[in-house]
Homo-oligomer: A and B are copies of this chain.
Amino acid sequence: MSTAEPVPAPDVVFAALGDPTRLSLVARLSDGQSRSIAVLSADTELTRQAVTKHLRVMEEAGLVEVARVGRESRYTFRPVALDAARAYLEMVSRQWDDALGRLKSFVEE
């Protein structure tokens, strides 16, 4: 049953990715290293609290996982949600390609 934690609906994941700040957080965390909020908000224009809020949104979307270690909250990237989003996009793409294929064979006959 892995870690339970169902992957949220695709639109939630996309919404979480649909913000420059959050997208850059994903990009940074996708190297596998977990980072504290302080570190993550260090080279941002934003406040620590603002970054915290963004991280909460990402957590709701299943994109990251948080674990308290000592006095800091370490956030870790979680690939499942992103895989789900990717699968969704591929599904739509496939439908599009199929439609193109049908059109083509219709024209050619």
Residues of chain A whose beta carbon lies under 8 Å from any beta carbon of chain B: 9-20, 22-23, 26-27, 30-33, 77, 79, 82-83, 85-86, 89-90, 92-93, 95-96, 99-100, 103
Q: Which residues of chain B are near A20, meaning CB under 8 Å?
A: 9, 11
Query: Do A99 and B18 touch across chains, with their CB atoms under 8 A apart?
Result: no
Q: A90-B86, A93-B86 are in contact. Are A11 and B15 (CB under 8 A)?
A: no
Cα distance A19–B89 when bound, in Å? 14
Query: Once bound together, how far apart are the Cα atoms of A31 and B92, in whole Å?
Result: 9
| A-B CB proximity, top 4 nearest | A15-B18, A32-B99, A14-B18, A14-B17
User: Which residue of B14, B31, B77 contacts A14 across the interface (Cβ within 8 Å)?
Assistant: B14
Q: Which residues of B contact A83 (CB under 8 A)?
A: 93
Across the interface, do A18 and B23 meet the contact criterion of CB distance under 8 Å?
A: no
Identify which of A10, A82, A89 gathers the most chain B CB atoms within 10 Å of its CB. Answer: A89
- Chain B hits for A33, CB < 8 A: 99
Residue of B nearest to A18 (CB): B15
